[in-house]
A and B are shown apart, each in its own frame.
Chain A
Amino acid sequence: MSTATVLPRGLVRTVLRLHRTALIVWAVFVLGSVGCLVWLTEVTAASVQRTLDACPGNGSLCGIGAWHSYSESVSWISTFMYYSYWAVAAWAGGALIGRELESGTARLAWSQGVSPARWLTAKLALPALALLLGGAVFVPVYRWAWSAHRELMGDHLLFNDVFADHGPLVVAYGLCALAVGTLTGLLLGRPLPALAISVAAMTLLNRALEQRRPDPLPASAFWPAHLTEAALVLTAAALTTTAAFRLLHHRTA
């Protein structure tokens, strides 16, 4: 409803159409991850458990292959989701903004009655919505799958990816990557340099914030640490977005 008043429906449709490949890739990635997690938790874990139960109880390496295939798959999914902000930063700097500026498509749109500010709002709001929806689907399923078979997993709540995937932090990184990619795309106006620099900038931010995560953590301290980092990342995203709008205003004024 509010989207319709701020953004004309035609603009929304154009952005969706132009970036449909990215939208499909994101949807397949999120739904695929969720599907794999459900399958691993409900089907694979039970069969691993049966293999382990059939082993002689003498502490041999029996069943380690089956056990490994389960824990490794869950870890890969959580790692991929954590680092999906790289893909978001690269895409935002490259395909969303940089390519449009280089090819002149953006300027053409601005001359067709779409104001630059509205164009940027649509370019930011729709991917942000997709990221939020993706996180809203992934995080609860991941939390459920992660805690379902702790005895089969070798990871810990403080592993970098596990820590972020347990709440809004993973979405915050995606939103920040979107904002950073947009700003670098606007600044450089060329897809490949914008792509490289936005990925590098997001990696630096991520590494810096990972450094300040606590080492030993009682369970009760998880949420304060998680939410503080999410707030910092979202602040960075908000500042970057403001800078992007300012920059666009200066460029087109």
Chain B
Amino acid sequence: MSATTLAKAPAAVERPAPRGLVRSVLRLHRTALWIWLAFVAFTAGLLLWLTGPGADATARQLERFGYGGGVMEAAYSTDTLFYFTSGAYNDLFYDPDTLITLASFAVALFAGGPLIARELESGTAQLAWTQSVSPARWLTAKLAVPAAFVVVGTGLLTLLYRQLWSAHSNLLIAGIGPRSLYFSLGPATVAAPLLGLALGTLIGLAVRRTLPALAFSGFAYFLVHAFRGNHWPFQGRYQQPDLSSRSHAITSTGAEISDPGCYTDKACLAGHDVVRFTREYLPSSDYWPRQLLETGVLLALTAVAVALAFGLLRRRAATG
């Protein structure tokens, strides 16, 4: 009993420091924390709505009229009265992707500006280093706390998005939109903002002034973003392959025939004895090789940026 107490005592003295450090990072950046939580909650809600009730009207259209009469009609419908229910489902489907991209940019900007450079510019960081928080620990907390929120938040959103894809990607207009969304969603969606965080931190430490660091971080993440997707240099001319989809019309006997091309003509559909349509995107065998390659490169670059940041910090702390 007393032995365990004795053994625990030194650890208890050590432990409050990191916990206090984490709390002070959370407290200092609480505005960013709230914005992040609001973004995750809103985007998750949008994804769930698109998976559930948001898809109903367009899914019914697909079932009744197939791709040409249902999906295309719904996507190009200009009926703004039903904009949020059926008309623009094809557009709304990509909105979470836009939000995730914006948030990734925001992570890089936040890391360069308020997280690191402002602290160095105002002297708060240097003050913290004299208060028994070593520079390395300070930077570890500054990186680990936002990284945890980024991984959990974007990880959750990516899972929800994959779920939405498998439920309703058949309601999307074929082309470059579904293709690039399909190939970009995965572990790389989580790794990209982590690289933004690392690059922003490195730039913040190098520049030490809030607004220039913000500008450089934005530019650096723009490059990361531009090299993702179709522009990834390791893929070279090796573009994303087309996604294959499979469409069928189903007759009253349950037989699968090809789309008779009736568009929305009900008499024509009845003439071909079509009772409903199905459509699906087939998974691509290229998906995992691409995702893993991209994730690997992003994480390796993140590790390099973090290592450089710690190296730079040691020099900064030594010279004051």
Which A residues have a C-beta under 8 Å from some C-beta of B?
21, 65, 87, 90, 94-95, 99, 191-192, 195
Contact = CB atoms under 8 A, between A and B. Distances in A.
B237 A191 contact: no
Describe A's contact surface by its main secondary structure. Answer: helix
Contacts of B212: 21
Nearest to B118: A192
Given A191-B210, A192-B114, A195-B211, 8 more contacts: A21-B212, A87-B215, A94-B211, A94-B214, A99-B211, A192-B118, A192-B210, A195-B214
Contacts of A191: 210-211
A192 B214 CA distance: 9
A183 B203 CA distance: 29
B135 interface: no
A65 B237 CA distance: 8
B11 to A, nearest CB: 39
Contacts, number: 18
Nearest to B35: A196
Given A95-B211, A99-B211, A192 B237 contact: no
B113 interface: yes
B174 to A, nearest CB: 19
A99 B113 CA distance: 13
Contacts of A95: 211
Contacts of B215: 87, 90
Interface string B110-124: 000110001000000
Contacts of B113: 192
A195 B217 CA distance: 15
A95 B215 CA distance: 11
B135 to A, nearest CB: 24
Contacts of A94: 211, 214
A99 B117 CA distance: 14
B23 to A, nearest CB: 22
A71 to B, nearest CB: 14
Contacts of A65: 237
B255 to A, nearest CB: 39
Contacts of B211: 94-95, 99, 191, 195
Interface in B198-257: 210-212, 214-215, 237
Nearest to A80: B222
Contacts of B214: 90, 94, 192, 195
A192 B112 CA distance: 12
A203 to B, nearest CB: 10
A-B pairs with the 7 shortest C-beta distances? Answer: A95-B211, A94-B211, A192-B114, A192-B113, A191-B211, A65-B237, A99-B211
A19 B237 CA distance: 42
18 contacts: A21-B212, A65-B237, A87-B215, A90-B214, A90-B215, A94-B211, A94-B214, A95-B211, A99-B211, A191-B210, A191-B211, A192-B113, A192-B114, A192-B118, A192-B210, A192-B214, A195-B211, A195-B214
